[in-house]
Each structure stands twice: as C-alpha cells, then as structure tokens.
Chains A and B, each alone.
Chain A
C-alpha cells in the first residue's frame, strides 16, 4: 500500500452568481481542489472527500516544494488503500469560506478591491454541497460513486444525499451527527467568543489592520482539541507528567498537557484564518436537516436514494455513537440501505483520521462492493 505521491492543487473559477442559504449573493467564486487516480470513461468511479472544520483540499499525497506536506487523510487514500486510487477517482475540495485557496473571508472582494473580512457571508453545509456540485459539473461527474466525510465532512456526505439524491450512489458518514447537541453548540460558542473578544479581531476586518486575532484563534483551537481527544487517551499520552522546572508555583507551562495544547494552538493559529473558523463552526451549528420536518429525521432522510455506511467511534464524546445510531435508525425506519460499524479506536473524535485497522477494513470492504 502506497501514498498517491506528488500532487498538485488545481483551481476552478465559477462565474455564475451563487445565492446562499442565508440569502446572501456571491457574484463569483473559486474552489481549489485536488484529484487522485483516474476518472474512468463512464465517469462512474468518482469519490468526493468532504473535509471537516480545519481540513482542506489537500487530502492525500504531498507537495514537491514543501516538507511535512502530507495530506490530512493520506492514510486512507492511495493504491491498495481503502479509498483505492487504482479503482477510484478521488476529489478533495477546499470548501467555500475556507482559507486554503477557495474564496473566503481572506479573499479580495471584487466589488471593493479589499478583503471580504466581516462582509463574507455565513455559509452552510447546504451551500457547500451546492458549490461542490458545481465542481462536479465542471469535472463532468454526474453521479458520485460515493461521497465520504468525517465529522463536519460527514454532515456534507449526508446533505449530498438530500440536496442531490440522484447524484450520490453511496454516502459514508463517519463520526458525525444529524445535528449538533446543545453541548456541541456551547463548545463552538466559546471558541467563537475567544476569537470575537480578541482585540486584534477588529470586527472581522483585521486584514486592513495588518494583524490577526491569533490569541483568540489559539484559544479556540485549544478548546476544540480537548474535545477531539478522549479522556483515556489524554491520560495515557500525558497523564500528569510535568515539564522540567515544574513546581515553581507560577502559571508557566508546568504540565505536558499544557505544553501540548499551547503547541497545537500556536501551530493552528499560524495556519488558519479566524473568520473561516467562525464560519465553519456556525455551519456546524446550523446543520439540522430534520428542522424543516418537525424534527423528524426519518422524514428528512426519506428523499435519499443512496446506500449508507455510518461509522462511529466508542471513545468519541463530541459526536458519540448514539448520534450516529440516530441516523441509522431513521434510515432503517424508511427501509433505506445502511450498514453501521462502531470502532473501539482510542483517539476520541479524532479517531476518524487514524489508521485504525477495523475502521479502515470496514471502509475498504464497503467500497469494494461498489460496482463501477
């Protein structure tokens, strides 16, 4: 089993105006994306990978000019890997509102010649699916063999089957939920408050001030990171281990877990855009396909024509297995095809990114069944 190797991102420009779910209008937009494998003549072997909160289009492989540039889900994509590039044509895309090349708050607003900043609209999971469908059109893909994603990406994989039932044959919804719980939204709100209350935020127009709300973004990530791990795993990885010089009765970094969180926060804040973080968490909050159906998830999922594979992780408390089973039971209620697997991978919510043998075997076995 190998990596897909060297990859090059591509860019697509969409000049037709886009009306978002909020009612806001984008006159045009760009999406950056990557592809791995070869689209077959029948164009029947395409898989769309949807990214989560902090992800992007660089899903697999690496860049020629950058060290440490391996894609965020490289372990599952490649020749002989579960998303087998010898069989499938894989597409990864940076979502609208992102900060890795697709049009987002840090892009230049053609109407003003300045950064969009606070004026960039709030985007939703539905909006992402709409824009991904435009990319599919541009690539000549009428029907995805599968749409797959973890966490917020799983929500997109689910939404695809509702927005475009006839364009998705299989939907792989991993470590996700059909809507956030109050606790989930609460965590997102604290993350947003950390950013919004940073003096360098400037109402979202910090680009013009040549600063970035690094502290707020850092705090947001530190908080988020805790919720992506499991208690057991943190105990095992860090426990109460202390740094040299600990016990000085100060508020310096004394415990390893503090050092780890600060490192993760710093790393993330250096790479990510705070305005994008605000919008990604809002998209999570708003996602609730059952809302228009009196809260009846089964009614909301009834239009889907896809077969589903739902996967959860027993150590994931941010999107616990029972949230995935809600999706499964709604599909069973409707008599729709669904398989459900629950892995014991120890890494909490982040398990969906891990090379867990059972989890990967389930994905591989499911995708091997897909006829092309």
Chain B
C-alpha cells in the first residue's frame, strides 16, 4: 500500500489533462488519484486488492474497485480511459504481458513505472554478493512482493516484442531527480508512457 508521496507521481500528474479519465492499477490508498483529481481536474478509478488500501481509498472519497490485477481487467470496456497507470507494481505481477495488453485495451495510454534493477547501486550490491535494498527496491529478498527483476533495456525489449510504442520515457535517481545520461546505469526508477 502506498502511503508516501512518490517521485513518479509528479511526472504522471504532468501527463494528465483536465477531465481526462484515469484508471490507477494497484492504487493503494488512492493518493495518486486524489492528486490527479485535485490538481489536474481528472476523473478516475483505482483498483486495489488489499482491504487496508480499499478502506483508506474509500475514506479519501476515491472511486476504488476491489480486485486482483492478475485476473485482468475483464468487465472494463475497450478505450474507457485516457490513461491507465501502473505505478511501481509491474514487478509484482505474474501475468506481465497480459496486464500490459489489458492496459492498452481499456486505455488509450499506459503509464508504467518500475524500479530499475540495473541501477548502479543495485549492480554494486550484487557485485558484493548481496541482493540490493534501496529506496526503490526497499525489501529484503525473503519478504519482497516483487516477482520480477528487470531493467530499462529488458522492459524496452519486451515493448518491442509486444509492438508497444514508447511515447515517452523519464528516469529518476533515488532522490527523485531526472536522469538524462546513462539512464540504465544511473536511473533508479523508470516511468514510461506507452501506446499502440
């Protein structure tokens, strides 16, 4: 469940225009949606699996729908949303390709952020023989909800294979600052806008 402001929220918010419809997958307590509604004048729904997240989102007045992303987005009509957001959640999903396909079925644009496993500090940790624990990968290996560990290059290779169009890519370091040069080495968190 997300409780703190996230660096990727600034970027995502900047991409959303007034009156646009947003679907936030794994919305937690609805913080991102609340921000998109209040700051950007968007209209949105969130999907959340955990009871604590659903309760917190309802308490914030968010249109939260309890459900499991692994079941896909059945029931949501094609092209319902301007943006379908998956913030720091793709690495926890088993059915990766199906979910990306579903996102671009119900939405015209998919916004995906994920921790970059090839971030230099992660590389150093592995070089030193340990799995990385960092701002964007904050779990020990034995209690992590993350199922998939991948890099910017890995993700872009999947996009190419699935014929998804990368409309924009922004990469952030651990402090939330934009990374321009050497993103797969210096970037801790990647945020993509994808289309068909």
- Residues A341 and B58 in contact, CB atoms below 8 Å apart: yes
- Residues A369 and B61 in contact, CB atoms below 8 Å apart: yes
Query: Which B residues lie within 8 Å of A339 (CB)?
Result: 54, 57-58, 62-65
- Residues B58 and A332 in contact, CB atoms below 8 Å apart: no
Tell whether B96 is near chain A: CB-to-CB under 8 Å: no
- Residues A340 and B80 in contact, CB atoms below 8 Å apart: no
- Residues B75 and A340 in contact, CB atoms below 8 Å apart: no
| Min CB–CB distance A364 → chain B (angstroms) | 9
Query: Which A residues lie within 8 Å of B75 (CB)?
Result: 325-326, 328-329
- Residues B61 and A341 in contact, CB atoms below 8 Å apart: no
- Residues A335 and B58 in contact, CB atoms below 8 Å apart: no
A333-372 interface code vs B (CB 8 A; 1 in, 0 out):
1010111111000000000000000100110011011000
Given contacts A358-B51, A368-B59, contact A332 B64 (CB under 8 A): no
A292-312 interface code vs B (CB 8 A; 1 in, 0 out):
000000000000000001000
- Residues A341 and B59 in contact, CB atoms below 8 Å apart: no
Query: Which A residues lie within 8 Å of B59 (CB)?
Result: 365, 368-369
Tell whether B77 is near chain A: CB-to-CB under 8 Å: yes
Point out the residue from B43, B54, B80 that lies within 8 Å of A362, measured CB to CB.
B54
- From DSSP, what is the main secondary structure of chain A's interface residues? helix
A365 and B58 CA atoms in complex are apart in Å by 6
| Min CB–CB distance A278 → chain B (angstroms) | 34
- CB contacts under 8 Å to B, within A279-330, are 309, 325-326, 328-329
| Min CB–CB distance A216 → chain B (angstroms) | 40
- Residues A341 and B43 in contact, CB atoms below 8 Å apart: no
- Residues B58 and A362 in contact, CB atoms below 8 Å apart: yes
B32-47 interface code vs A (CB 8 A; 1 in, 0 out):
0000000000010100
- CB contacts under 8 Å to A, within B55-89, are 55, 57-59, 61-67, 75-77, 80
Tell whether B193 is near chain A: CB-to-CB under 8 Å: no
A362 and B53 CA atoms in complex are apart in Å by 11
A338 and B47 CA atoms in complex are apart in Å by 12
Query: Which A residues lie within 8 Å of B65 (CB)?
Result: 328, 332, 338-340
| Min CB–CB distance A327 → chain B (angstroms) | 10
A368 and B61 CA atoms in complex are apart in Å by 10
Query: Which B residues lie within 8 Å of A369 (CB)?
Result: 58-59, 61
Tell whether B21 is near chain A: CB-to-CB under 8 Å: yes
Query: Which A residues lie within 8 Å of B43 (CB)?
Result: 335
A313 and B59 CA atoms in complex are apart in Å by 20
- Residues B55 and A365 in contact, CB atoms below 8 Å apart: yes
A81-94 interface code vs B (CB 8 A; 1 in, 0 out):
00000000000000
Query: Which A residues lie within 8 Å of B54 (CB)?
Result: 339, 341, 362
- Residues A333 and B51 in contact, CB atoms below 8 Å apart: no
| CB nearest neighbor in A for B106 | A332
Point out the residue from B51, B57, B66, B76 that lies within 8 Å of A332, measured CB to CB.
B76
Query: Which A residues lie within 8 Å of B21 (CB)?
Result: 335
Point out the residue from A325, A326, A333 that lies within 8 Å of B77, measured CB to CB.
A333
| Min CB–CB distance A14 → chain B (angstroms) | 37
Point out the residue from A335, A337, A341, A361 that lies within 8 Å of B66, measured CB to CB.
A341
A36 and B83 CA atoms in complex are apart in Å by 44
Query: Which A residues lie within 8 Å of B62 (CB)?
Result: 339
- Residues B63 and A362 in contact, CB atoms below 8 Å apart: no
| Min CB–CB distance A338 → chain B (angstroms) | 6
- Residues A340 and B64 in contact, CB atoms below 8 Å apart: yes
- Residues A340 and B66 in contact, CB atoms below 8 Å apart: yes
A and B contact pairs by CB, cutoff 8 A, 8 listed: A332-B76, A337-B63, A339-B63, A340-B67, A341-B51, A341-B66, A362-B54, A368-B59
Query: In the complex, given contacts A329-B76, A340-B67, what are 8 additional A-B residue pairs having Cβ atoms less than 8 angstroms apart?
Result: A309-B58, A328-B65, A328-B75, A333-B80, A339-B54, A339-B62, A339-B65, A341-B51
List residues of A whose CB falls within 8 A of some B CB: 309, 325-326, 328-329, 332-333, 335, 337-342, 358, 361-362, 365-366, 368-369
5 nearest A-B residue pairs (beta carbon) = A329-B75, A365-B59, A340-B65, A365-B58, A342-B66
